[in-house]
Amino acid sequence: SDSHFPVPLSPQHVDYSLHFPQIFPSPDRSGDARRIEFADVGCGFGGLCISLSTLFPEKLMIGMEIRDKVTEYVKERILGLRTTNPGQYQNVSVVRTNSMKYIPNYFEKGQLSKMFFLFPDPHFKEKNHRRRVISPFLLDEYAYVLKEGGIIYTITDVEELGVWMRTCLENHPMFECITDEELEADPVVKLLVSATEEGQKVARNGGQTFQAVFRRVALSG
Ligand code: SAM
Residue 188 has pLDDT above 60, yes or no: yes
Strands (E) across the chain are located at 36-41, 60-65, 92-96, 112-118, 146-156, 175-177, 210-216
Asked if the structure places residue 206 within a domain, the reply is yes
| Ligand 1 mutation pick, 52, 65, 95, 137, max ligand atoms within 8 A of CB | 65
pLDDT of residue 3: 55
**How remote is the CA of residue 40 from the centroid of ligand 1, in Å?**
9
pLDDT, position 97 = 97
Ligand 1 atom nearest residue 120's Cα: 10
The domain tally of the chain equals: 1
Q: What is the torsional sign of CA 166, 171, 173, 178?
A: positive
ipTM for the whole complex: 0.99
List ligand 1's pocket residues with C-beta within 6 A. Answer: 42-44, 64-67, 70, 98-100, 118-121, 196-199
Smallest CA separation from ligand 1 atom 23, residue: 98
Q: Which domain holds residue 164?
A: 2-216
Structural contact between residues 156 and 210, judged by C-beta atoms closer than 8 angstroms:
yes
Of the candidates 121, 140, 157, 186, the residue annotated as catalytic is: 121
CA of 178 relative to ligand 1 center, distance in Å: 24
Helix (H, G, I), strand (E, B) or coil at 193: helix
Give me the chain's average pLDDT, please: 95
Please indicate whether residue 32 is annotated as part of the active site. Answer: no
Tell me the CATH number at 53: 3.40.50.150
**What pLDDT does 220 receive?**
64
What pLDDT band is residue 24 in, cutting at 50, 70 and 90? Answer: very high
Q: From ligand 1's centre to the CA of 199, what distance in Å?
A: 13
Q: Which amino acid residue places its CA nearest to atom 27 of ligand 1? A: 42
Residue 15: per-residue pLDDT: 96
174 domain residue, yes or no: yes
Mean pLDDT confidence for 28-48: 95
**Quick check: is 221 in a domain?**
no
The predicted-structure confidence for 60-86, as pLDDT tens digits, reads as follows 999 999 999 999 999 999 999 999 999
Mutate to test the pocket of ligand 1, among 119, 131, 161, 204 (most ligand atoms within 8 A of CB): 119
The pLDDT assigned to 192 comes to: 98
CA 83 to each of CA 18, 54, 86, 90, 128: distance values in angstroms, whole numbers, following the listed order? 16, 15, 6, 10, 42
Question: What's the average model confidence in pLDDT over 140-163?
Answer: 98
Name the pTM for this structure. Answer: 0.97
Whether 4 shows a pLDDT value over 90: the answer reads no
